[in-house]
């Protein structure tokens, strides 16, 4: 079986796949694919959970004077065990700003894939494609 088939098989009578049910099922099925992808070492799992909690604390509580989010986690930093940068430092550095824009556009594309069935969002996706094309053209021009 694949992870997908195992997860889909856990759909309840109301049509939900509940994470708690997945964990309980995996615990009782140690040969399953789902089991292999969960952390069963409680010490490691607890540390990973605390790190996720710290991430949420940073995102929720580090704010500008206007109450806006004041940090950003760039994918490139995550790949090198980095953390969160102050938004002002990223926006004032052309290279970091471009990285943030590319990341935002990738996230927007994932959002589009998830919600493309909602026709009401079509104009947003069209505008995002226009912005992406402009950013790509500007980057190509700057590199030349």
DSSP codes joined into one string, 92-121:
TSHHHHHHHHHHHHHHHHHHHHHHTT-GGG
pLDDT at residue 10 greater than cutoff 90:
yes
Minimal CA–CA distance to 5: which of 33, 24, 30, 41? 33
> CB 26: neighbour CB atoms within 10 A?
20
Distance CA 21, CA 27 (A): 10
pLDDT at residue 138 greater than cutoff 80:
no
pLDDT at residue 140 greater than cutoff 80:
no
- Cα three-residue angle 115-118-122, rounded to 5 degrees: 90
Give phi and psi for 82, each to the nearest 5. Answer: -75, -165
Q: For residue 35, give both structure tokens.
A: 């089991």
Q: Where are the domains of the chain?
A: 1-38
What was the pLDDT predicted at 144? 58
Distance CA 23, CA 26 (A): 5
Residue 143's pLDDT band, with cuts at 50, 70 and 90, is low
Structure confidence by residue, pLDDT tens digits, 33-73: 999 999 999 999 999 999 999 999 999 999 999 999 999 99
At 41 the three-state DSSP class reads coil
């Amino acid at each position: 079986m694949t992870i997908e088939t195992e997860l889909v098989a856990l759909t309840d009578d109301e049509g939900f796949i509940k994470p708690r049910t997945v964990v309980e099922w995996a615990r009782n099925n140690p040969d399953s694919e789902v089991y292999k992808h969960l952390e069963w070492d409680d010490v490691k799992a607890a540390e990973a959970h605390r790190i996720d909690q710290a991430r949420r604390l940073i995102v929720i509580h580090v704010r500008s004077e206007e109450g806006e989010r004041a940090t950003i986690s760039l994918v490139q930093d995550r790949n090198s065990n980095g953390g969160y940068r102050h938004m002002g430092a990223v926006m004032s550095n052309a290279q970091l700003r471009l990285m943030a824009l590319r990341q935002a556009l990738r996230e927007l594309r994932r959002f589009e894939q998830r919600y493309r069935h909602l026709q009401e969002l079509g104009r947003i996706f069209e505008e995002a494609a226009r912005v992406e094309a402009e950013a790509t053209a500007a980057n190509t021009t700057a590199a030349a």
